[in-house]
Structures are given as C-alpha cells and as structure tokens.
Structure 1
Amino acid sequence: MKIIHTADWHLGQSFHGQERHEEHRAFLDWLLDTLVRREADALLIAGDLFDVVNPSLRAQELLFHFIVTAHERLPDLDTVLIAGNHDSGARIDLPSPLLKRLKAHALGRVHFLADGHLDAERLLVPLSDGGGTTRAWCLALPFLRPAEVTGRGSLPSESDGQQTPSDGDGDRRYVQGIERVHRELIEAARARRRPDQALVAMSHAHLHGAAVSEASERPIVIGGEESIPASLFPADICYVALGHLHRAQRVGEDRIRYSGSPLALDFSEANYPHQVLEVTLAGEHLDAVESIPIPRPVAMHRIGPDTLEAVLTAIDTLPERTTTQRLDTGEGDSDDRNRWGWLEVAVRLEAPMPELRSRIDEALATKAVRLLRLRRDLPQRPEDTAPSGERLEDIGPRALFERTWQERWGAAAPEAVLSDFDRLRQSVVDNDGLDQATGNTHHDTRHPESSQ
C-alpha cells in the first residue's frame, strides 16, 4: 500500500504581518493532485495543522475543504491527522465524529483509563487498501502536553512497579511520561495486528539528534529537555511519520522520518527542500520511501548582510513586475501581487542612515517582491553585550532567569522553580499565538486549555 506523509502545515500563519492563504491553498491543491496521481491509500498529517490554537475561519475552511475534496476524489483514502504543539487538541477532536464519515480520523488529545493507563484503542487507526482490506495500523499519537502525562490522573498505579519521578523534576517527569505513552500504545498495536499487517507510528515530537530550524520552531516545552530517543520505536514499527521539525530529515534510520513543512515558515528555511514523502509498504515491511518535491508558489529571497552598494546591486537582479505600478497605489492585479516573492534585506552600516528605507524602496519600485524585513547591522556597542562577550539576545530567557536567580540568592535556582518558570513561559508563548488569531492585545497567562 502507498502512504503519503506530511506535517507542519501551519495554516493561517501570519508571515511578518502578511497572510499566506494563497500559498497554502496552492499547496493543498497540489497535494490533492498528487494523492490522485500517486493512487495513495492513506494520508498521514503529523501535527501543527494550524499555526495558532485559535485559527481564523479562513484557515479552518482550507482544512475542511481539503478533507471533503480528498474524499470526493479518492473515496477509499484513509486520512489520519493529529494535533501538534501549535494546535488546540480540543479543536482538532471536536469535528472527529463528522470527519469519520469522510474516512478522516482526527486525534487531538490522549485519554487515560481509571487505572492511569493509556486509552490506546482510540489511537489505533486501521489503514486499508483499495479493496477495503486492512493492511496496516496507524499508531496516531497527538502532541502530549505536560499536564496530560504528568498529572496524577495519567500516572500508573504503584502496583505496576514503575518508579514515579518526584514533583520537582518537571522535565524528567514529562519525558518519562511521553516514553510510557509510546510504549503502551505500541503494546496495544502489537496485540491488535494480524499477520502481514504493518505497524506505522505517527507522532509530533522532538527526537534526539534531529536538526532544529534556526528561528521558526517553537520549543515543544521551553527548557530544552523535551526530546525523546528514537529507540522508543522498535524494529517492528516499519515506519515512523514525525512532525514538529520543519527541516525534512531522517533520524538514524530510513524508517524514521520528518517530512518537514510544505512551506518555508521563516527566512531561515528559505533553502530547505520542501517535500511530502511517499511510503510504500510490502506486507508488514517498509519497501521504499520517496521524496516528492513541493513546487514553491511564492519565492523567498534573502539579501545581505552586506554593504548598501552590494545590497542595491543584488536587488537589481530580482525579477521585474509585470506591471510598473507601485504597491502603494492599490492598483494592478491583486492575484499577481499575491505571487510576488517575499524579501528580507540586511544592510551593514557604519553609522545610522535615516534615508535607508527610502533608498531600498526606490530600488524595489519595479520589482516583483514584497519587502517584509529590513535589518540594519550597526557596529556593536558595549552595552549590547554581556561581560562574557555574549549577546543578550542569544542568552535566552531561561538562562537569563537562572543567572538572575543566582546573583540574587547566591545559589542555583531549584528544579521546582525552573519547572514553574518553564510552564509560565510556555503559557505566555501559547497565548501569543492566541492573541495573534483573535486580535487581543492583553496577555492572560492561563493556557486556553488549562481548565480542561
């Protein structure tokens, strides 16, 4: 059977204040055609369907229109989608009874039984071939929030003989909770499978040794200790479809893969190879994995950091507009403008130059690009660096908090305090995404799902 693996769509993303609806629509149209052309039996979407926990109506419309159209064009297609750390698990779960009528299975959150063990049955999705025969089982594990796997309701009883980490060791409790959930799901899948049926795992997680993007990936749990080992996926799992990291890559073995994001989500990802993966199974074994490149509907350009003269020379090589009208006139073909490339410019200066923006705008007046970021690199001032020579912006909030605590109290911050700091910052990060979607300007440190 053939499976298409994709992840990290981030529908509704605001890119430096600009919406990317047309880019996402172009990708989804291409994906539909690819599913039909490749005669896919299943589609796996490994989390971060949306960019924020409260996505816009247009972003949700894109997803549901895609699912309906995919079912119309491929009635036998099994679609399995899980929530990522950018998604609201409750929002992904909500339409699941309706989506099942379209052979689409939406898993937003995990549930636990009264004894603390995982309710694994609801996370096991059968994948069928065109004749309706179950050829594989998908172990669909949505993103696990710390409260879901470290709360008392999710811990096994003491009679199981498992050692429970102390409350103060938040990072270790979280990672051990993730590992236990994976193990229990795999055990349930092994019990359910029949001879010649493959096991395919799908998870939204950060694996040890995987390469993280320069700027665009939000840490799953702030603190940096949330990665899990690839050894969690034993050899009888013939393929592991991962989401979260935007760089397409394998982790140690051919069978363990991040598909990567379909669009560059930051200028740091401009040169990534964007793809979906076609996974071919033969019985219970992996037969082949093929990368299918995704055409980029909108180009992404980075110029600099360099001198102003060099930057202006580089701008001169950018593609020309099909119309000479300026963006600020509001005239011309809006569809054409939606396909103009994104542009980041970095200029090295010896002194402030108030007229820099006007000079850049003048150079871009006839170019088919949209300037999103203009960075001025000025000589570094002493106050911009820490005594060690580090830049303050590179230290990071957690390390800065630890240093401040050390200086104030003369001792390292306790693990319990650091765990509280990580949870507080995580809630602020999550609510930043919520505010972007709703237009709110206040910051409430409660997570949108904290009451659930």
Structure 2
Amino acid sequence: MRLFHTSDWHLGQSLHGQERDFEHACFLDWLLGQLAARQPDVLLIAGDIFDTVNPPVKAQERLYDFIVNAHEQQPALTIVMIAGNHDSGSRIELPAPLMRRLRTHALGRVLWLDDGQLDAERLLIPLPDAQGNTAAWCLALPFLRPAEVTGVTLGDDYLRGIGKVHELLIDAANARRQPGQALIAVSHAHMAGGAVSEDSERSLIIGSAEALPASLFGPDISYVALGHLHKPQKVNGEERIRYCGSPIPLSFSEIDYPHQILEVTCEGEQLVSVETLRIPRAVELLRLGPEPLDDIALQLAALPDVDLLDDPARQPWLEIRVRLDEPQPDLRQQLETALQGKAVRLVRIGAEYAGRKAAGDDDSPLIDLERLSPQELFSRVWQDGFGNEVDAQTLDDFAQLLQQVQLEGEQP
C-alpha cells in the first residue's frame, strides 16, 4: 500500500494582507499531477486545511474542486482529512456525507457515546489497496480540544485525556484489524522535540502542556502522519513518526524550508520506505536586512526589473527590515520609490532603531507583535504590570480562557 502524506495547506491564508490563492492553486495542480503519475492508494491531509475557522468562499471552493477532480481522475483513491487547530471541526465535517460518495473521509471532532465510551468507530477508516482489499486501518485524530477530552469521565487533566483517547482508539484498531493489516495514524498535534516555525504556527499550549510525547504512538502503529509544524522533520529521529511540513512558505521565517509531501509505502504491517516529493515553489519570498537604509537602497537597486512577458502573479513577495538611527517618517515612500519598476511585491517593512539605550530606553530591537503567541504577550504584560513573572496557575487559567474564546469563535 502507498500513501501520500500532506498537511497544513492553510487555504485562504494571506501574507500581510496579500492573498495566496495563486500559490495554493499551483500546489493543488501539482498534487493532482503527482496523484495521476504515482497512483497512491491513499491521500492523507493532516489538518490545518484552512487558515481560519471561517475561511473565504474561494478557499472552500479550492478544497472541494480538488476533491472532485482527484476522484474523477482516480476513482479508487481514498482521501482522509482531519481538522487542525486552525480549522473548525464542525465545518470540516459538515459536507462529510456527500464527500463519502467521493471516497473522502472528513473528521473534525472526537465524540463520546452515551455510556461514556469513545466513539472509536467513526475514527477508524478502512484503507483499501488497488485490489479493493483492506490493507490498513487509518486512525484519524483531529486536533483534540479540551472540551473533547476532559469531563466527568476523563477528569480535567488535558494530557491525560489525550492519552486516554489514543489508548482507546489504538485498542479499538487492534481489535478490528486482521493479521497483515497496517495501522496508519493521522494526527494534528505538537509532538515533543519538534522544531517550531518562528512566527506562523499558532501555539497549541493548553495550560502548561506544550507538547505531546511520541510514546502515545506505540510500535503497533506502522506510520504516524503528523500535521501542525511547518518544517518537515522526524520526531525523535523515528522514521515512522513524521511531519511532512506545509506546501508553501506561510511566513518569511519559512523561506528556507524544503516544502514537500511524503510518499509512504507499507508491505503488510511493515513500513518499507518514506520518499520525499519536493513541491515547486510558485512564488518566492525575499527578505532583505536588517541593514542600514543606504545598504538596503543598494540591494533594491540590484533587484531585477519588471519583464512585461512574465506573469505578475509570480513576482516574489518582499519583506524589508531597516536599521535606523532615528525615525524616518517617509521611510515607506523612500522604499516604494526605490522599488518602482522592480519585479517584486513589497508586503512588509520592519524598522529597528539603534541608540535606544542612550535615549533612556531599552536597547533591544522593536518587538513584532505578530511573532508573539498570546501566552507570551500575556506574560510580558504581567511582568510589566506586576514586576514579577506570571505564575503557572495564572498562565493555566489564561490558556483555558483563551481556548474558550477560540471555541466560541469557531461556531458557524
């Protein structure tokens, strides 16, 4: 059996106000081509399908057009997609009955039966091979929110609740599978030891619990297809537990990420190989600086001029970071004038000021609020207001309140 592992599409994402629909369209066209050429049995989408819980109509059209096109092109293909922390679980599941006719399974939430048992049946998906025989079972684990894994039965310990869900689902899968059938988990989570992007991955911290242990996925699981972290990586060096990463750079901090999908091959219960398929980048991201303004001006002058025969939608996105001795009220105007006729699209200007300490201020560079998680921002405000670090209990209370607000915002 062969599977494609993808994640973190973030359809509908914008880069400092600029939509990325062209880049997503290029990726989905490329993915359709890879499906046609390599004919995998299964396509896994490990969460963060959309960038927001209320994605724009165009982003939803991209997803459903892709599913229809993939099914028409390859009728035997099974697609499994789960909700990530950026997604609304209920929105992901809303068209599920219709999508099942296209051999697509959409799982957004964990549900419990009236007797307090996990509804494991809906999270276990048979994966047929090219001959139509069940070669594996998929354990679908959408992003687990506190309300789904805590309560009267499981208690209030979030990590313990997550562990219980994994234990119950793996037990149910082992009870269902026959000898020779692999178990494939698809999950959206932050695993301990994973490298996090500088400014584009929303924190999954719940209270003081930041990352999940890889031991949740025991040796019974042949392969774990993870989503959430945008940098491709193995968890603890394990070949079978992997993040494939995002298909496009979602921030300037991801310029050097190798964007890819993974082709996973199993024979029976054994993982045979994991092959990298690199995704061509439709639009480059350029970051200049931080440098003094004069040096930045020289770099801008060296940028290529606009070629009228080139597609403007492929012009690189540009971030400029300037180091200044004093404020420059017309900084943007100076930079935009220098960029006239250049084949780039300016999306962000950042300024760092020297000499702040001499003026009686902190000598550290200005903080970009977009790069601070809500927990980090809360901690800084607490430190400034009370003169001491926030205690763990208060940070836990804040995190629970933040989760409650995010859940309320997900209601359609």
Q: Give the alignment's TM-score, normalised by structure 1.
A: 0.84
Which segment drifts farther, 312-321 or 30-39?
Answer: 312-321
Question: Which residue is 2:272 aligned to?
Answer: 287
Which segment drifts farther, 108-117 or 178-187?
Answer: 108-117
Work out whether 1:262 is the aligned partner of 2:237: no
Question: Which residue is 1:422 aligned to?
Answer: 399
Question: Which residue is 1:327 aligned to?
Answer: none
**1:279–1:289 Cα contact (<8 Å) kept:** yes
Alignment deviations for residues 280-328 of structure 1 (CA, whole Å, 9 cap, x no partner): 11111100001110000001100000122221222233332113xxxxx
**Equivalent-residue separation in structure 2 for 1:320 and 1:125 (angstroms):** 52
**Equivalent-residue separation in structure 1 for 2:209 and 2:8 (angstroms):** 21
Alignment deviations for residues 356-386 of structure 1 (CA, whole Å, 9 cap, x no partner): 2222112211211110011111125357549
Question: Which residue is 2:167 aligned to?
Answer: 183
SS at match of 1:102: coil
Question: Which residue is 1:359 aligned to?
Answer: 334
Alignment deviations for residues 74-108 of structure 1 (CA, whole Å, 9 cap, x no partner): 00000000000000000011111100000000001
Question: Aligned to 1:317, which of 279, 302, 309?
Answer: 302
Question: Aligned to 2:209, which of 200, 225, 246?
Answer: 225
**Equivalent-residue separation in structure 1 for 2:403 and 2:179 (angstroms):** 44
- Seen in structure 2, the aligned counterparts of structure 1 residues 380 and 198 have a Cα distance that, compared at 3 Å, is farther
Question: Which residue is 2:33 aligned to?
Answer: 33
One-letter amino acid matched to 1:448: E
Q: Give the alignment's TM-score, normalised by structure 2.
A: 0.92
One-letter amino acid matched to 1:425: L
Q: How does 1:340-351 map to 2 (within 5 A)?
A: 340-351=315-326
**Equivalent-residue separation in structure 1 for 2:384 and 2:107 (angstroms):** 41
Alignment deviations for residues 205-237 of structure 1 (CA, whole Å, 9 cap, x no partner): 000010000011101235552311001111121
- Seen in structure 2, the aligned counterparts of structure 1 residues 342 and 125 have a Cα distance that, compared at 3 Å, is same
SS at match of 2:209: coil
- Seen in structure 2, the aligned counterparts of structure 1 residues 83 and 339 have a Cα distance that, compared at 3 Å, is same
- Seen in structure 2, the aligned counterparts of structure 1 residues 107 and 276 have a Cα distance that, compared at 3 Å, is same
**Equivalent-residue separation in structure 2 for 1:195 and 1:298 (angstroms):** 46
**1:51–1:86 Cα contact (<8 Å) kept:** yes
Alignment deviations for residues 8-30 of structure 1 (CA, whole Å, 9 cap, x no partner): 00000121011111110110010
Q: Which 4+ runs in 1 deviate beyond 4 A?
A: 389-395, 404-407, 410-414
Gaps of 5+ in 1: 157-163, 168-172, 324-332, 432-445
SS at match of 1:40: coil
Which segment drifts farther, 397-406 or 82-91?
Answer: 397-406
One-letter amino acid matched to 1:397: L
Which segment drifts farther, 338-347 or 396-405?
Answer: 396-405
SS at match of 1:52: coil
One-letter amino acid matched to 2:396: S
**1:316–1:363 Cα contact (<8 Å) kept:** yes
Question: Which residue is 2:53 aligned to?
Answer: 53
Work out whether 1:248 is the aligned partner of 2:232: yes
Question: Aligned to 2:262, which of 277, 283, 296?
Answer: 277
Question: Which residue is 1:159 aligned to?
Answer: none
Which segment drifts farther, 361-370 or 290-299?
Answer: 361-370
Work out whether 1:116 is the aligned partner of 2:116: yes
**1:175–1:227 Cα contact (<8 Å) kept:** no
SS at match of 1:64: helix
Question: Which residue is 1:301 aligned to?
Answer: 286
Question: Which residue is 1:326 aligned to?
Answer: none
Alignment deviations for residues 377-419 of structure 1 (CA, whole Å, 9 cap, x no partner): 1125357549xx8987679224235546865xx997572x433
- Seen in structure 2, the aligned counterparts of structure 1 residues 222 and 391 have a Cα distance that, compared at 3 Å, is farther
**Equivalent-residue separation in structure 1 for 2:206 and 2:110 (angstroms):** 21
**2:208–2:392 Cα contact (<8 Å) kept:** no
Question: Aligned to 1:399, which of 366, 369, 379?
Answer: 379
**2:208–2:395 Cα contact (<8 Å) kept:** no
Alignment deviations for residues 160-190 of structure 1 (CA, whole Å, 9 cap, x no partner): xxxx4xx5xxxxx111111111111111111
Give the share of equivalent positions with the same residue, in percent.
54
One-letter amino acid matched to 1:231: S
- Seen in structure 2, the aligned counterparts of structure 1 residues 297 and 390 have a Cα distance that, compared at 3 Å, is closer
Gaps of 5+ in 2: none
**1:146–1:174 Cα contact (<8 Å) kept:** yes
**Equivalent-residue separation in structure 2 for 1:50 and 1:420 (angstroms):** 28
SS at match of 1:376: strand
**Equivalent-residue separation in structure 2 for 1:229 and 1:273 (angstroms):** 25
